[in-house]
Structure 1
């Protein structure tokens, strides 16, 4: 049995924040890094830095300026799967199979705009439809799978700085929470964050750039998640967030999550 360390991070432009990506990799030494919101075409992805650190395997789904997901690994990646849950060409989901038999899926769920009403905000409707298609896919999964990424939903009351004030704010509305709950139930996914840090423990992964000092009021939300198939969850020996990264030079508004598996 060996240990496998997998990290996930919405980096908000991998090229703009390549220095802190290097800092994170040198500090944490994950075997695999899943990135969301890479904001770069595949042909100009910054391969060089990763290869310098021993990451020689890549599965990319990028596009210019927006969205984009990547799986960067020290170990081989096989059988790539790319999903377009909105049928609009946006680069939001890529998956691979590892030699140990685990399926790794990396997803960037749409934010959904500002108004939680699909009749006046098409982006909100697209987000809900994206989730519904994922529910159908998830329900058919047979392999042990780790699903990671920026889900753009904080499901529990303790996953936001103020449940009362955010009930009508996109990312914590009842319909989003209910839909995400059905996604979780469709495969019996184990939320590793709450498995290792049961509610109501504070576990924020995102803070808005609008606050000059995110630590001053700590208005965070848990938008980023790592979910495991039930049998795979039993092999998880550790899970943690890397909150200090939010204070690094030129940070992302999200922080990395890390899970350790015995495989």
Structure 2
């Protein structure tokens, strides 16, 4: 299976970029975050024309939104939570049939958390921490098997997941309250597939701010996008590729896609 995860930052706006990505990489499954499209306006037919007749999506106007596109039949996972009781379209999960058996794919878009890393002063940061804790609790009570978890988790947890560990320790996305909670969540049945393929201390980034005039020259990136697998399928991992050239396409997202090849 070839899987791509990408925070596309508006599906309808960047549909031509998605088409190019699919033509160049020929994935079997595509997981998108920040689709920013309500379900009645979701471009289902256009995506089917790109070779993905099987689709699962949750969206809302202007914000958030997640989708799983598949060339293989899929079924929605029943009973997934309404995280933090907000109904804000941050998670979708599907079981996909493969020759070796079903595989469950979770696609998440974790809250960004605002700018102030203090839950008392910043409700958005408090929401982010609560979301992480609730996710860890849910997987603790629903142990994953033959599962892949991907998405924009909005946290760069490790020292070399950011351009400067020292300078970003007090910046939302790399603060200890966030990174510790994300790693606690991962411990509930997952392995960090990206860091299995590309171990530390190699720098590994998937996001570069629009504010950087020359993103490649400054290279002030963060690894906000993640691919996790359960241990039972991790031996099939073949490659992880961060598709950095996409950041230079016309009107790009500030995130780049991450590609995984895995034998299932």
TM-score range, shorter chain: over 0.9
| Deviation at residue 102 of structure 1 after TM alignment | 0.8
Aligned equivalents of 2:209 and 2:195: distance in 1?
A: 22
1:155/1:172 contact within 8 Å kept: yes
Matches within 5 A, 1:70-219: 70-81=67-78, 82-100=80-98, 101-139=102-140, 140-187=142-189, 189-219=190-220
**Which residue is 1:17 aligned to?**
14
Deviation at 1:235, TM superposition (A): 1.5
- TM-score calculated relative to the size of structure 2: 0.95
Match of 2:65 in 1: 68
Deviation at 1:79, TM superposition (A): 3.1
Q: Distance in 2 between matches of 1:142 and 1:178?
A: 20
Over residues 59-114 of structure 1, what are the superposed CA-to-partner deviations in whole Å (9 max), with x where a residue is unaligned? 00101110000001111111334432121110000000011311100000000000
Corresponding residue for residue 27 of structure 1? 24
Q: Deviations over 1:187-206 (max 9, x none)?
A: 1x111110000001121000
Structure 1 unaligned residues grouped into runs of 5+: none
Q: Secondary structure at the match of 1:14?
A: coil
Question: Secondary structure of the residue that 1:40 maps to in structure 2?
Answer: coil
Report the 3-state secondary structure (helix = DSSP H, G, I; strand = E; otherwise coil) of the residue aligned with 1:125.
helix
Give the superposed CA RMSD.
1.0
Moved over 4 A (4+): none
Contact 1:83/1:94, CA 8 A, preserved across alignment: no
With the length of structure 1 as denominator, give the TM-score of the two structures. 0.96
Shift of 1:259: 1.0
SS at match of 1:102: strand
Structure-2 separation of matches of 1:221 and 1:142: 27
Contact kept, 8 Å, 1:83 with 1:92, in 2: the verdict is no
Kept after mapping to 1: 8 A contact 2:143/2:188: no
Say whether 1:224 aligns with 2:217. Answer: no
Aligned residues: 259
Residue matched to 2:56 = 59
Deviation of 1:237 after TM superposition, in Å, equals 1.4
